Amino acid sequence: MSAGGIPGSQDPRSQDPRSQDPRSQDPRSQDPRSQDRSEAGACVPAANAAARRAYLDHNATSPLKREARDAMLAALECVGNASSVHADGRAARARMEAARAHVARLVGAAPRGVVFTSGATEAAALALHPAVEMAGRPKPCDVLLMSVVEHPAVLRGHRFAAEAVEVLPVDGAGRVQLDALEETLARHAAAGRRALLALMAANNETGVVQPVAQAARLVKARDGVVFCDAVQAAGRLPLDMAALGVDFLSLSAHKMGGPQGTGALVAAGPDDRTPALIAGGGQERGRRAGTENGPAIAGFGAVADVARADLAEEAARLATLRDALERAVLAGVPDAEVIGSGAERLPNTSMLTFAGLRAETLVIALDLAHVSVSAGSACSSGKVGASHVLSAMGVPEDRAAGAIRLSLGWSSTRQDVDEAVAALQKVVPHLRSRAVRAA
């Protein structure tokens, strides 16, 4: 039966008999040993260990899926370096190549195009270099074009000279302006310059989906190259590199319920590449040196396989929960607004803003109410100032200052949504009242 009567909102953990134990509502507590951990090693501080938490920060990281954990534990039980030619090495290689095939299928690519990395940040840095090779032949790019709302890994992690970088504007919903892209491409083509475009599939803060296929057609018409940061879209939207028209695409395992610290750069063709970021041995066909993290890669492959198989059903379930969350907040909390609501968005992401409040204050207050959310990108936590994404969208400063991101995932339930809404209905008026008294 649907939780709370909403179709598609079944608790994915309810099939486990341990779910009858209130502690097991937190996916991190399913290991019975976790109840005996010291405060230093616990998932949450010991003082809060008995309290159920609503985790709505999947765009920062998603709890480890059982399939990933099982694959990782199985790999950890085995010895062997995937570069070794003996039987143990061949077995390690077989596990890694099986994972590579799963990752490739998730995005409609060939396994030989997948390069395993330490994460999507490294994958972006590997891809964004002027010395591109396509089908084994040089295709140098003179200028890097990227939207102003890209992730910091792209904005700051590329390997182009500063004077060879141009940032493209977005509209009020945060989508790249295609007319500006077309004009920029024409200007560079007239000067004999080839462009590499970096455009994310969907924004990590607002969830707004970018017109990647349309942009790619414009770039390819000028003989350019396209890189797509698909970190947030993987497992939430259908991804096919050929249909999108992209040449390189980055992925991160932990956004899908895999382990942290592993990701991939996927090339459309097996001989499409850029200069190695890490030199040394010949691992990953010479594209990324260093012994591969076999257990993490096994976990990555496992969640990629599950994400592909469950994509349609899970996307519909998450969209139902997200829509219920937004309706309840807009109906029950005065002066609340959903950022990007008029655009196509990821089914799991909601950026809410509350007039007169500061995001960091809201995040802390919700944390104390046992609800985990974030203020924009987790990769930019600790920064002072408004989100560069909201600023680029033209969101008024007072609204941008009070914006928080709630993101759902595989472990999210209707109970999580209800508890988040209840907390917001209590916390927001309290903080506003306190601000008035302090004024």
Which residues have a catalytic role annotated? 379
Quickly list DSSP for 43-94.
Answer: SS-GGGTTS--EE-BTTT--PPPHHHHHHHHHHHT----TT--SHHHHHHHH
**What gap in Å lies between CA 295 and CA 73, rounded to an integer?**
7
* CA 162 – CA 165 distance, rounded (Å): 6
Residue labelled with tokens 């803003």? 353
If one counts every other C-beta atom within 10 angstroms of the C-beta of residue 221, the result is: 12
Name the residue with tokens 């382990």: 259
CB atoms inside a 10 Å sphere around CB 275: 13
Contact between residue 92 and residue 224 where contact means Cβ atoms under 8 Å apart = no
Task: Give helix then strand counts, H and E, for the chain.
Answer: 12, 14
Contact status, residue 191 vs residue 219, Cβ threshold 8 Å: no
Q: Is 7 helix (H, G, I), strand (E, B) or coil?
A: coil
